[in-house]
Amino acid sequence: MTLRVDEVSLAFGQLQALDGLSLAAEPGRIVGLIGPNGSGKSTLLNVVSGIYAPQSGTVHVGGRRITAFQPDIVATMGVGRTFQVPRLARRLTVFQNMLVGGRGHRGENLWNLFVRIGAVRTDEHSMQERAYAIVRRLGLQDKINELAGQLSGGQQKLLSMGVLLMSDPQILLIDEPAAGVNPVLIEQQIVFLSQLRDEGRTILLIEHNMDMITGLCDDVYVLDGGRVLAYGTPDEVRRDPAVMQSYLGTHERKVAS
């Protein structure tokens, strides 16, 4: 599924977090989203995933308009996300978190619990198999009965990726998977993300780690002050003088234009 964001704006009081921002991401490609702190990257994910409604502009997935839909509806349409600070049920175990990631479990229906006991058991069985296959891929199979809140920061990021995969999303919005993660786990995530791309999923990746961006991304959008400052291949944007300036901090947002 294609993700398209058109002319999206959102202000928090005086602060224009998103300022007429447009971008697109295609299946089978990884689109990078970079930019200085506070440039609006995470806010964009919040708008796409329905946590914030934009003040103007539209969001489309697979040609359907989803602007300002509720987060649960957006998720059921195949758009999944992770958070910059991993969101997990901390007092639940790794495996409990994983199992809630998958949707359509008949055991979440009160009636089925008391009437269709066999169906509930069948679903639980297949959900557990699926979850176990994913935690194995992530190297978390020895931690399934540990509390999610007790994992290291890097492992929590891996786990949120696993939870996300349980829902089999067509569009993945991933916010800084490498921040605070050790190099081995970063390497693992790179392999993992490229596999997901090869499965034909659409990936929007926010990351400050430039090795990850150049290693993975087909295209990169550079954000600054809530708008697109530059767009191109990782090499192209790296050589862009405006981008270098913005990263060096000499770019003065308020004076511009």
Partner 1 sequence: MIDFAIYMTTIVCIWAVLAISLNIQFGLTGLVNFGQILPFAIGAYSAGIASFHGLPIWVGVLAGLIMGPLIGFLVIFPTRRMAQDYWALASLGIAEMFRLTMLNFRGIAGGVEGTIVERLSDPRVAMAVSVLALVVSFIVAERISKAPLGRLLRVIREDETLAATLGRNPFRFQVVAMAVAWAMASAVGVLYAHITGFVDHGSFMVIETFIIWTAVIVGGPGRNLGVVVGAIIIQAMSVSTRFVAQWTDLPSDVVANLRLALVGLLLVVMIMYRPEGFLREKKPNYDVKS
Ligand X SMILES: Nc1ncnc2c1ncn2[C@@H]1O[C@H](COP(=O)(O)OP(=O)(O)OP(=O)(O)O)[C@@H](O)[C@H]1O
In the complex, least distance from residue 213 CB atom to partner 1, rounded to whole angstroms: 24
**CB-based contacts of 228: which residues, under 8 Å, 6+ apart?**
21, 22, 23, 221, 222
107 contributes a contact to partner 1 by CB under 8 A: yes
Considering only residues 176-195, where is the footprint of Mg ion by CB under 5 A? Answer: none
82 contributes a contact to Mg ion by CB under 5 A: no
225 contributes a contact to partner 1 by CB under 8 A: no
Question: Torsion over CA of 221, 222, 223 and 228, rounded to 10 degrees?
Answer: -60
In the complex, least distance from residue 156 CB atom to partner 1, rounded to whole angstroms: 12
Q: Of 16 and 214, which has the nearer Cβ to ligand X?
A: 16
Tokens read off for 51: 């946590």
Q: Which residues would be at the binding site for ligand X (CB under 6 A)?
A: 12, 15, 17, 35, 37-43, 84
Q: Binding residue for partner 1 (CB under 8 A) from 163, 181, 204, 220? A: 163
Q: Of 46 and 209, which has the nearer Cβ to partner 1?
A: 46
Q: Of 38 and 71, which has the nearer Cβ to ligand X?
A: 38
d(CA 124, CA 143): 19
64 contributes a contact to partner 1 by CB under 8 A: no
Q: Binding residue for partner 1 (CB under 8 A) from 22, 58, 67, 93? A: 93
Q: Order of strands across the sheet with 202-206?
A: 79-81, 171-175, 202-206, 29-34, 219-224, 227-232
CB atoms within 10 A of CB 36: 19
For residues 234 to 253, the per-residue mask of contacts with Mg ion, x marking binding by CB under 5 A and - elsewhere, is --------------------
In the complex, least distance from residue 63 CB atom to partner 1, rounded to whole angstroms: 20
Q: Order of strands across the sheet with 3-12?
A: 15-25, 3-12, 56-61, 64-65
Tokens read off for 116: 């269709």
3-state helix, strand, coil in the chain (%, to 5): 45, 25, 35
Q: Of 22 and 67, which has the nearer Cβ to partner 1?
A: 67
116 contributes a contact to partner 1 by CB under 8 A: no
53 contributes a contact to partner 1 by CB under 8 A: no
100 contributes a contact to partner 1 by CB under 8 A: yes
d(CA 251, CA 121): 59
Binding site for Mg ion (CB under 5 A): 41-42, 84
